[in-house]
Amino acid sequence: MPKWIKLKRLLLAMAGSVGLAAALAVPAQAQEKIKIFLSLSYSGNAWQSEAANIVKALAATPPYDKLVDLREVISGTDVQAQISAYQSMIDAGAKGIISFPVSPTGLNRTIRRGCAKGVLFFLYDATVTEPCAYNVSYITSGFGENTAQALVNELGGKGKIFLSRGVPGNSVDERHTEGAMSIFKKYPGIKIVATYYGMWSDQTTQSETAKALAAHPDVDGIWAQAGEDGAIKALLATGRQRLIPVTGENSNGFRLALANPAYQARGLKGVSSGSPPATAGYAFKLMMEILTKHRVLPTHNIQYPLPWVPAADVKVCTGDKFENGCNTFPQNKVPDSFVTEVFEPTLLPELSLVTASDGTPTPGATIQPLPPTVVAAPDTPGINCSHCKPPADLYHLTKVQPTVQP
């Protein structure tokens, strides 16, 4: 056996006591790089770009920079295109595929084929129902039901609302909407007067919200998925004095709007929650710990915590990280579309503003081991499992309680 292999095995065995970064600090020429593909279904918004940048930055952070051969593929929103992309990756000798999947079920057969060939599949944010894949997502942590209840509370249990959805057929959109409807259907005074797909894009959401506002100028509230900053811009573009409650996700522009005293005086209320691009980084680190024999996961469905920032809790940062309770950047620091939830100090201390903005590593950072335990996501039929039984309290509220009784 070559000496370098003996050395590598010894170092891996030492990892538990001396730390992941130190144990893997083997010279570049002594490593066979691990071929990993980053597969995006599309790159049509800031969220997708930030998630991809986080993975690329982590792959270039020591010691992963000496271990990983990362290749990025964007296949678009067509299921067949992503199936073809997965097949090409498998045939090219991928050891791991980290991906935002376009469909919870349409990719299963190809994923199963890859698993049979020893490929690790880690899906972030969106999920699949194929049991051999690993899903790392926040979507089962209750964005839909919690934001819906927050909107109902703001409206006093009655009013006309818009539903601004995401990408049709995607597990994220389905789970969000199912959770929201579990709340709205309890309140007969809540009337959904327009439902449209904003495609998680600020531009598309602004356009679709503008159309809905033209048809229903007397709307009382908006429940939105990603693209919510576009919903705010559509409201402002009407020139109306009266603003309305809006619940949405994590764009910097939306959080700044919620904290704007002038907008608050005109009636803007709401909460910022939703999808953290950091799930991609968490999924990548979990995959790498498995590939380097540092972890065995007890579950294939891992839940990421749900961000929750009511308007009263928006705090603007003075630096490049979330520190001292801040959660938003000044307007001249990042674009309005920038998705704020790119940091998680316990899981992803390696990340900084530069990692999300352009995919380069944080200067001086090294990969830190993840905590030993993970939070298992609840079984959710059609989302992360097929023939399974959901818990009775699947849509229970965790961030907000009713102030108006159903």
Q: Are residues 268 and 150 in the same domain?
A: yes
Cα 249 from Cα 278, distance rounded (Å): 14
- 76 and 127 in one domain? yes
Radius of gyration of the CA atoms of the chain, in A: 22
The tens place of each residue's pLDDT in the chain, 406 residues long, gives: 443 333 333 333 333 333 444 334 444 444 589 999 999 876 668 899 999 999 999 999 999 999 999 999 988 888 999 999 999 999 999 999 999 999 999 999 999 999 999 999 999 999 999 999 999 999 999 999 999 999 999 999 999 999 999 999 889 999 999 999 999 999 999 999 999 999 999 999 999 999 999 999 999 999 999 999 999 999 999 999 999 999 999 999 999 999 999 999 999 999 999 999 999 999 999 999 999 999 999 999 999 999 999 999 999 999 888 889 999 999 999 999 999 999 999 999 999 999 999 999 999 999 999 999 999 999 999 999 999 999 999 999 999 999 998 9
The answer to whether residues 120 and 152 touch, using CB atoms and an 8 Å cutoff, is no
Q: Which of 197, 189, 188 is nearest to 220 (CA)?
A: 189
Domain harbouring 190, CATH code: 3.40.50.2300
pLDDT at 21: 43
Q: Do 55 and 107 share a structural domain?
A: yes
Rounded to 5°, angle at Cα 127 from 81 and 176: 110
Residue whose C-alpha is closest to residue 184's, from 149, 225, 219: 149
Q: Is the preceding omega at residue 245 within 30 degrees of 0, hence cis? A: no
Task: Give a yes or no: residue 65 inside a domain.
Answer: yes
Asked if residues 351 and 54 have their Cβ atoms less than 8 Å apart, the reply is yes
Residues 246 and 157 placed together within one structural domain of the fold: yes
Closest CA relative to residue 253, chosen from 279, 278, 234: 234
Q: In terms of residue numbers, what domain contains 31? A: 3-138+276-305+344-358
Question: Within this chain, do residues 225 and 241 fall inside the same structural domain, yes or no?
Answer: yes
Q: What are phi and psi of 91, to 5 degrees?
A: -65, -25
Same domain assignment for residues 196 and 286: no
At residue 103, the pLDDT reads 92
Residues 217 and 286 in one domain: no
Domain check: are 298 and 256 in the same one?
no
